[in-house]
Copies of this chain bind each other. A is one copy, B any other.
């Protein structure tokens, strides 16, 4: 997958859980709810229809109890290797009904490669233009996506071994 540093944000890490477990963490609602939002935010609902054109919906709750729904659509799925979705579309590839919840649309790709007994993990966020990319970076993309990856690893270690 080619990226464009002016338009994309990339987080690359090696983690010590297998691609199988990372894939499970990303594709089952009961796991998503455990790690998907940086504490003290929580993910209180999740719907996954794991096929191109299927829904990926989450509801995040702020520490103050405010709920933020977020609806997206899966685009490309290669089990244990690649997961791509966008919030520019919703179920059935329909253009999104909701306003962009971050103020802009993005497409995300999670790439997984075996690395010893662990995983080389690459998360990519693709944007329309530099302004959106820079806004997403300033919102704390790297810290946020890094933190939730640590939460994912801790959670899957607790259930997966």
Contacts and interface: CB of A to CB of B under 8 A. Distances in A.
Nearest to A75: B93
A88 interface: yes
B97 A129 contact: yes
Interface of A: 1-2, 7, 52-53, 75-76, 84, 86, 88-89, 92-97, 104-107, 126-129, 132
22 contacts: A2-B92, A7-B94, A52-B52, A52-B76, A53-B76, A53-B84, A75-B93, A76-B93, A86-B89, A88-B95, A92-B126, A93-B107, A94-B107, A94-B126, A94-B128, A95-B105, A95-B106, A95-B128, A95-B132, A96-B128, A97-B128, A97-B129
